[in-house]
Structure 1
Amino acid sequence: MISRKLPFLVTVALFCMIFIGLTQTDSLNKRQGDICFADFADGVDGLYTFTDFGGPFKLKKRSIMHRVNGQFTKGFEKDTDINNYEFFIMTKEGRKVDFTEDFKENVKIFPAGGTTPFQKVYKDDDHSVNNLIGGKFVVNHNGKKLASTILHF
């Protein structure tokens, strides 16, 4: 008796799993946003992530909000005064997206050369992943370049 019902139950279960999987895929993809990274390794070590979120990503080229978060782990040992540093991105188009004031307000440098974590949400399009990707994240110390890296997916 069970041997006759088993293939039927397996077929129904397989059909249900396929149906659920196919109907859920689109709604999950709509929630995903664009993301890019700035991975520092020369002179300064750290990782910064730039994420777009909060909008219908496939329908518009821009989203509603843009989150920047990350932390430097070393490279600031010689001078622990955050006011002596500049943090900005030069986009591929040559525009400067400046983070210096936000870093001065929110980041502290430890004596060991690392920093506190940084996170901020921006609502303007200057900070969108589409505008930043391929640009160069630059850290200057007293007007001289300390480190830089290209933003990538």
Structure 2
Amino acid sequence: MFLAFTNSFLCLKLIYLSCKFCISSAVFQTGLVVLQFQPWLCCSPDVIALLNGEAVITEIKCPYSRQDLPIVDNETKMCFVKYLVYENDCLCLSRKHEYYTQIQVQLYVTNLTKAILFVYSSVQSVVIWVVRDDNFLSQVISKLEHFYFAHLIQQLHS
């Protein structure tokens, strides 16, 4: 039951996304993507869409707490989910939230430069563009590498 619910929402969101931009020529589900030169690092993007000839990661969120409620109020600049913020009157993904790290690592592993965060409720859908942040990634990837080799591998060997 849950799987069918998730898949139907995924289809609905992808259709909405394609219609909103009217430029999507292909949508791909990738499964697990392992980075060849750093095989300890991988990701599983929801979808990779081809928009105007450019591959773009599409991360889809359906916050249960907002399933029948708006996600943001554009007039008052209020966000009702913790991962969205207004910066300079522009709605964006908070750099302090784990979803920012998730999307940035997906961009790194897939070697892409742009992602779309698609947040859906039955009342409102929000599309946020996220651009690859190499300064952020240089810090995060080194921390992930340290954690993997200093802690995770040690636990697996013991």
Q: TM-score, normalised by structure 1?
A: 0.25
Q: Which has the higher contact order (CA 8 A, sep 6+)?
A: 1
Select the structure of larger CA radius of gyration.
1
In terms of fraction of residues, the more helix-rich structure is 2
Q: Under a length normalisation based on structure 2, what TM-score does the superposition of the two structures give?
A: 0.25
